[in-house]
Structures are given as structure tokens and as C-alpha cells.
Structure 1
């Protein structure tokens, strides 16, 4: 179990009612620069945010929230996007709707049961290939709105969210060790909500009947991100190769994004 002190210390940020909230800043990129810790935040779904949480979020300067959940997820879990005054909620679904059909979910769970590492890489590759527009929207925010903090999330704030964070940190030049550490922190971040998330899945027969695969799918181990980073480099030529080939962003745009997200430190 994670200590409450971990979740109230950097890089974690407290936003009441939202799980595994943290900045992806603070990591060194070279001897004199770090990723600005005040501009990019990641989390799980924000549907449960409290009034106090809204104040905490606004105090961080966050004025845009990117929601990567699919429509089927939102409907299945009966969650409602919150109304936060002055904050724009941008829907950018990441994931095809059909993989959430019963047959597709069962195939995914069996893949995670048989070889979790391969399953994580397969899912990350599919996400990158089929949903580049979502990544383009988030990266364009850092290009078009320099200095404006944003938050991006999926349901658990683990894999799709982790993939966005990994691409940002890779683009910034952060060491793989820190990118893997950032991903693995999700284990501690999810701990307060683990019972709720477990009950949610156990109430769905197909997850209950393929529980080993579900548990593997819910993990956030460093070795999973190690394999994903290797895949990004092998299949796409790294973050720069992916973004310039699959989005409208050009090298000059990525240079500006790096400049906008880095500070002396």
C-alpha cells in the first residue's frame, strides 16, 4: 500500500475527488534544464472531483482538461463530466469503440493473461497508430498556449495517460529511467481507489471471469514502459519520428514545444 505522504508530495498533487494526480514536470533533461512542473498534469478520470477539488485545480492554473475516455467507457461507468467554472473540457477519445465489445474485451484480457508485456506493447502500438489526432491536440496545446497549464486523463490515468506523458518526456529528452519511474508511480497513485476500481470490474462478468488478465492489465510496472519505449523507437523513430509522421506537427513546432516546456534548473 502507498503511504498518504507519498500522494501529498511532489510529483503528486492533491485535487480532492481525483485519483493519481501529478505533474510530469521536474525531471532533468540535461545539466541545466528541467521540465517545467507547472504546465502538464496527468490523472485518472475527473468525474468525482469535489468543490474543494475544483478550487485546487483552478489554483494550479489549469484551464483545459483533455478527456481521452471513449464514449462507451463514459456510458458504461455512468460518469458525468464535471462543470468547472473557467475550465474547458476537451473530449479526445483514444481507443476504438469496438474493442470494448464483449468478444474484443475477452481477447484483450486473454492476451494480458498469457503475456502481459506483449499485451502492453500491442495496445500502445495500436493507440499510437489509430489515434494520432488525440496526441496532436494535446501537443498543439503546448505549442499554441505556452504557459497555460493543462491536465490530461483517461479512466485510471495509467496507460493512455502514461503514453502521452512518455511521449512528452521523451520529446523533452528526459532519461528513460525517469520516464519509467513516472509510469510506475501510478501504482501508488491508484492505491486509494483500488478497491473501488476492483469492485467496478468485478461487477462486469467478462472481467470477473478473466480476472488474472484483468489484474495484469491493471498493473503499471517499469518493465512495461521499458518495452513501450523500445517499441516507440523501433517502430516510429522515437517521439519526434512519431509526431512528425502521424500528426501535422513539424520539427520546428516540436522545437517550440520543447522551449515552452523547459526551464532552467
Structure 2
């Protein structure tokens, strides 16, 4: 089990589910008004398609009832990573990607950007996610508004970018302190560390990643300064997270307050 004992991150945020990478609880964080995000009700992770039989048992013990899968259909097909059935768990397909993001030409262009200017590449990618994933994010936030007692998990492939943007919005709308939003995002470095050698071996077998390896390594980071910049962009471009909810999720103050009441102690 991974822990981070020297920061203000809840201890420990990570849980052990065999076959699932980078899985952790998004709870225990403090808001600017002194309230606390409910623990063990929202989880985030990477791809769950390799979950083992033991992992399924652990998943059941965790109490997760709903899984939102942010991956694109062609991504699942190309990587042969369909999510297996897990008893008692409803899997909801909720693609939250950038159109054509997984065709080789698009991937190569993005990797070049990550190699030459890592931070700028992340800001472009994350703003594209925010602009294109509104319908998907609305689906998940509507579920959180209407079914607060159903423990759920959101994930993409690594549990870093699409998942990271959703969780950042979730924490922001609850009023979590910026320092903790930033630290939570950066935890993915620790979450992926135990399996990084396996991920790199997998991507070394794919030509477009192998031929743009420096960009691939840069794209795998989750540095605090990246989230710091995104928080600023959300405030400047959308008028804050409430503005984003209203313009891109078509959710109003009443929806926002209901989500807050559901997930804050």
C-alpha cells in the first residue's frame, strides 16, 4: 500500500485492488470553510480491465457500486482492454476524450508537443478535455447529485488526465483548498510508480510511442505546476468552477449546492 505520511494528503489515500493501477480514495480533504470531503465514497483509478479474481473480491469489499469508464471506444478496442464484469458493479461507458486523440498521427503530434514544451502541451490537452467532455462530466455529476449513497469510481487508462480533470472539478466545486487539489493530482506519480516499468514496456511495443519516447515520458508526468496552471485557467477562462458548471455542464446553483451537501461533512 502506498502512503504519503509527510504531506497534508489523507493517509493513506491508496487502496490495494489486485490488477488495478493507481487506485485511491478522494476523501478527507479540507475546504476553505473548514468542512471535510466524505471519505471512501469516491474513488479514482487507471484501467480496471486487468482486475484479477482476488481483485474482484477486494473491489466488492471496497463497496464500489458504479464505475464510470472515461476511455474512448477505439482506445478500448486498440488496446484490447474491455472491462470484465464485476459482480454487483454497474459499468457505465462515459467517453471523455478528445476527438481522434488516439489515431497514430494525432498521437505523434501530441508527443512532439510534450517533448518540446511539456507544460504547454498539458495545458492544451487539459483545456481540450474541459471543452469536449462536458456531456460526460455532466452525466457523472448528475449521478453524484442524485445517488450520493452509491460508492463510485471514475477511471481512464492511467487515471491521470481525463480522470484528473474530473476529480479537479469535483474537488474545486466542493471548495477544497488549492494546495490539496494540486497535491491530489501529483499523487498519480506515486500511484503509477510500481507499474511504470510495465507501462513503458507495453508502450515500447507501439511504434508511435517508441519513435517519440521523450514525449511519451513527459506525457506520463503529473507535476504540481501543471495543476496549478489549470486551476488558474479554470478561474480566468470560465469564471471559476461554478462558471464551468453553468456553461459546460448546464448545472445551476441548486445542483452545485446539492453536490456539496452530499459529499461534505
**Which TM-score bucket, shorter chain as reference?**
over 0.9
Residue number among 1, 6, 10 corresponding to 2:3 in the alignment:
6
Superposed CA RMSD in Å reads: 1.5
TM-score (norm 1): 0.94
- Of 31-40 and 21-30, the range deviating more from structure 2: 31-40
Residue number among 100, 105, 125 corresponding to 1:98 in the alignment:
100
TM-score (norm 2): 0.94
Residue number among 171, 182, 198 corresponding to 1:180 in the alignment:
182
Residue number among 62, 66, 71 corresponding to 2:73 in the alignment:
71
Do the aligned residues in 1 keep the contact of 2:36 with 2:264 (CA within 8 Å)? Answer: yes
**CA-to-partner distance for each residue in 1:172-217, whole Å, 9 max, x for gaps?**
1111110110011101110121111101111111111111111110
Any residues of structure 2 matched to 1:155-234 within 5 Å, and which? 155-234=157-236
Question: What's the CA shift for 1:5?
Answer: 4.5
* Equivalent position SS for 2:150: coil
Any residues of structure 2 matched to 1:1-265 within 5 Å, and which? 4-6=1-3, 10-30=12-32, 32-263=34-265
2:87 and 2:102 map into 1 onto residues whose CA distance is: 32
**CA-to-partner distance for each residue in 1:209-232, whole Å, 9 max, x for gaps?**
111111110001111111111111
Do the aligned residues in 2 keep the contact of 1:21 with 1:41 (CA within 8 Å)? Answer: yes
2:109 and 2:74 map into 1 onto residues whose CA distance is: 18
Do the aligned residues in 1 keep the contact of 2:28 with 2:36 (CA within 8 Å)? Answer: yes
Q: Which runs of 5+ in 1 are unaligned?
A: none
Q: 1:150 to 1:229 in 2, by over 3 A?
A: same
**CA-to-partner distance for each residue in 1:92-148, whole Å, 9 max, x for gaps?**
111134122222111101111111111111111111111201110111111110221
